[in-house]
Structure 1
Amino acid sequence: MDVPCLKLSAGNKIPILGLGTWQSKPGEVGNVVKSAIDAGYRHLDCAWFYQNEAEIGAALKTKFQEGVVKREDMFITGKIWRTKMRYEDCLASLKNSLKSYDIEYLDLCLVHWPIPHQHDGNDELMPTDDKGDLVYSNTSYLETWKALEKAVDDGLVKAIGLSNFNSRQIDDVIRNGRIKPSVLQVEVHPYLSQEKLVKFCQERDIVVTAFSPFGSPDRPWATPDEPILLEDPQLLDIAKKYKKSSAQVIIRWLIQRNIVVVPKSANPARIRENFNVWDFTLSEDDMAVISSFNRDYRFIVFYKTVNGQREFAEKDAPNFPFADEF
């Protein structure tokens, strides 16, 4: 079936369900993408930081050559990493990504984080100093935004947006930019419902995309004491009622909030299962129950332990987005 789409302020349409490609390993991501396209996915959420662009490009090329899909059938999102935020670096990074995907344009390109890292000419993902501390720069995300506006003018990308930005930073981009952000991509799931931020964006005609909708259980820094979202007893009860998995219920909860969702899986059966969410609708009561699980809990952020307490490792970084309420 055709996936329902939301219209972006840029004029193009984004499928409300896509495939996340973070942590899809080299050697496996190509088959993952091909399985997803065969299952009906037409939206791939990608990024240079994921270090798998060329393999995704090869998988796309195969599917184009097989005639399964055409380029215009696919919605492909890319992102500008923290080390690539200077104007020239941003444009160069975008062009390199297009070369890796072997396509002429992206449907959407996001500023991956508002936090800028020092860029010393190499492709180190998280530059550190001699003491092992992360090294930041003073590059403004507004400079990155100007570069993405130029990319729109040049036909390299159709829509542009933000990721991991807070409401104040989004307003800053709207105020100072020429093109309004079409999308905000952030972590959203029942333990981090982001109701205020979602409302803020939707009132401004900015579509919200949810990454890590299941709490990213395979994240490398997970600790044994953290909650496991997919095993939440109340969530499992609701899933049982609808004869669906807890993952399918979360996807449905997001879709019914008009939030685009990009779950990641490397398992072909799970990829198909995540796509099979069109034959049921959660009741208003069940939507409210799932929303009540919110505990403002972030899985996708760097933490450190100070005096036995967990705190944000990057709270002193330039433009750290999560100190504000939303």
Structure 2
Amino acid sequence: MAEPGPLDCLIIGAGPAGLTAALYLARFNRRIAVLDGRESRAAWIPTTHNFPLFAEGIAGPALLDRQRENLAQYGITPRHARVTALHRKDGGFEAVLEDDPTPLRARRILLATGAVDVEPALPDHPDALKRGLIRYCPICDGFEARGKRVAVLGHGARGLGEAVFLARSYTKDVTLLTLGQALSEEDEARAREHGIQLLTAPIEALEVEGDRIAAIRAGGAEHRFETLYSALGLKVRSDLALALGAGHDEAGALIVDDHNRTTIPGLYAAGDVVRGLNQVVVAMGHAAVAATDIHNHCELPTEDEPGGPGRPVRRPASP
């Protein structure tokens, strides 16, 4: 039978950040639950070489499997569930679940819902990114693309910025595919400065070889590449926090303090849902910091409970 009363912490999200926070809090002997929407961006990673201890690299699904196995020894199994709303109640929170009429109550929440990459609209391959036909993190695997012929799908500041990053760091053979979007004169000049070729015509057809897109037909001609990256942006899954009024940047990424507290008392955030560098090791660091702060405050009343410290809410700076 479950213990009465609210959880010490409810962790929403079971990617690298959520699972790391669960490990820390389990070892702190805290009453927690982990909700897994099964949409972790890490599950798309073919291989990351930026994760210490794995010289040969490790695939995202394998990393998540290891984390879940580690948690199992503490009796923690993530529950497949989606949270549709968070409400403030009795100094804590109440999480409304999609397919369960009974809400979960917790004194504190750790939001580790991450972000999702915007999928490119490609002929006959609408899910190319999820299928691994296109790469999405040159920080993770750009080193393996050094000296190769690389294309970047994107436009605007983000697309050009990723193309410049690859051209400066790994290869001089970079083409920016703008999917029919025109570039400003300033952006065209910046592309020329870094030797980046531009292909502004819409994509007409694709040629897939094994687990990658090898050729693209655009503007009536075929263009072949060894590696293709998507740089169309992210959709940050911060809606639960935004509905509570949490501080965020223009992209919806949450603003947190040095303890990974959001501007909502008792609500923490870690990983890609937080403004900053989207990397597995960063997400795990966020989680360790947040979980330790949650543990250190578990015996104390929250800011909204009687006797609470009345800590003023830190407001985000103007963008």
Same fold (TM over 0.5): no
> What TM bracket, shorter-length normalisation?
under 0.3
Q: Say which structure is richer in helix.
A: 1
Larger Rg: 2
Q: Say which structure is richer in strand.
A: 2
Scaled by the length of structure 2, the TM-score of the pair is 0.27
